[in-house]
Amino acid sequence: MDIVNALALFANFVAVPATAYGAQLALGALGVTLIFGILRFANFSHGELMSFGAMATILVTWTLQDLGIGIAPFPTALLALPVGILASIAVSLATNRMVFRFYQRRRANPIVFAIVSVGVMFVMAGLIRIIIGPDDQSFADGERFLITAFEFQKATGLKEGIAIKQTQVITVVVALVVVAALFWFLRKTRAGKAMRAFSDEEDLALLSGVNPDRVVQIAWIITATLACIAGTLYGLDKTYKPFIFLQILLPIFAATIVGGIGQPVGAILGGFVIAYSEVMVTYAFKKVITYLSPTDWAPEGLVQLLSTDYKFAVSFIILVAVLLIRPTGIIRGKVI
């Protein structure tokens, strides 16, 4: 029996990475859910918006690195983030003005909107590949680790170490701050209240003098901000590669639907549910069980529910299960 080592092992391979991943998904899902709440369509271009924001941040980061400006030991990308956010806001307002507003004025069917967003996604993906190319880009600098596995082992004398990357901590902290700010905005400010009213009952909100164009613009501004932060944090923690953002769209949509569409709290909850399931279902528990077993008994197999090849299938399975059993999501949201 060695509970402490089992916990350390679990934390190192499951809890720490899943928490960071969950925070990234939650930020992405918040953006999707906001657009759904206001414009009532599933925004497929959200992944590319994240990618665009991250790309803008990377370009500014490189400039800063060349100039020798940094905030060591923190990554320079944090300094570049505001510029990236501005760029994302500009591009999302431009697409809204050029594409989405046209359909909104016609009160187009949500499915038309969704397909239009697929078109926007492709155009944006092409634009990103023209500007930065399709390859991996590295832009992370600063201290990589808060504590490495080896340092942890030495400090505690345990057999298993817990490695915590600085980017993981930054991801969680930034996500917390952003979510708190978002909730404050939605609950306390006039514009936030107008947005919630518009989301709940559009016609009534219009009758009460809410300016729909303004609400939609604010929704895009917030979404672009969230997307840029989510994309940059994901790239910082893992790696930036344009293709990734098409892949990450599925877990983000799963998180949105699982949590309850149009429900900001649900998006966050959904993000963590998806992240933890993905990591835990594909994790091999062999060593954890070995530590927990009373004698030296070790299981023969890897004690792994699904091979890591099926990691992406996990979000699919959860998505299907939720749609079948509770289509409204964990927190009662809208039904697509």
Residues at the site binding another protein, with contacts judged by CB under 8 A: 12-14, 17, 21, 136, 148-150, 153, 161, 163, 165, 234, 238-239, 241, 243-244, 247-248, 278-279, 282-288, 302-304, 307-309, 311
How many Å apart are CA 127 and CA 242, to the nearest integer? 11
**Cβ atoms of 131 and 112 closer than 8 Å:** no
**Cβ atoms of 127 and 139 closer than 8 Å:** no
Q: What is residue 332's three-state secondary structure?
A: coil
Residue number with CB closer to another protein (103 or 285): 285
Residue whose token pair is 């038309």 = 112
Please report how close the Cβ of residue 86 comes to another protein at its closest, in angstroms.
Answer: 25
Please report how close the Cβ of residue 59 comes to another protein at its closest, in angstroms.
Answer: 19
Residue number with CB closer to another protein (227 or 261): 227
**For the stretch 203-228, what's the b/e string if a residue is b when 16 or more beta carbons lie within 10 angstroms of its beta carbon?**
eebeeeebeeeebbbbbbbbbbbbbb
**Cβ atoms of 215 and 194 closer than 8 Å:** yes
Residue number with CB closer to another protein (29 or 165): 165
Residue number with CB closer to another protein (38 or 318): 318
Residue number with CB closer to another protein (148 or 217): 148
Please report how close the Cβ of residue 145 comes to another protein at its closest, in angstroms.
Answer: 8
Residue number with CB closer to another protein (149 or 172): 149
Instruction: Report which of 13, 21, 8 is spatially closest to residue 282, judged by C-alpha positions.
Output: 13
Residue number with CB closer to another protein (170 or 244): 244
Please report how close the Cβ of residue 152 comes to another protein at its closest, in angstroms.
Answer: 8
Q: What is residue 126's three-state secondary structure?
A: helix
Please report how close the Cβ of residue 308 comes to another protein at its closest, in angstroms.
Answer: 5
Instruction: Report which of 12, 71, 24, 15 is spatially closest to residue 238, judged by C-alpha positions.
Output: 24
Please report how close the Cβ of residue 278 comes to another protein at its closest, in angstroms.
Answer: 8
Instruction: Report which of 254, 260, 257 is spatially closest to residue 274, judged by C-alpha positions.
Output: 254
Q: What is residue 107's three-state secondary structure?
A: coil
Please report how close the Cβ of residue 234 comes to another protein at its closest, in angstroms.
Answer: 7
What is the CB neighbour count within 10 angstroms for residue 109? 12
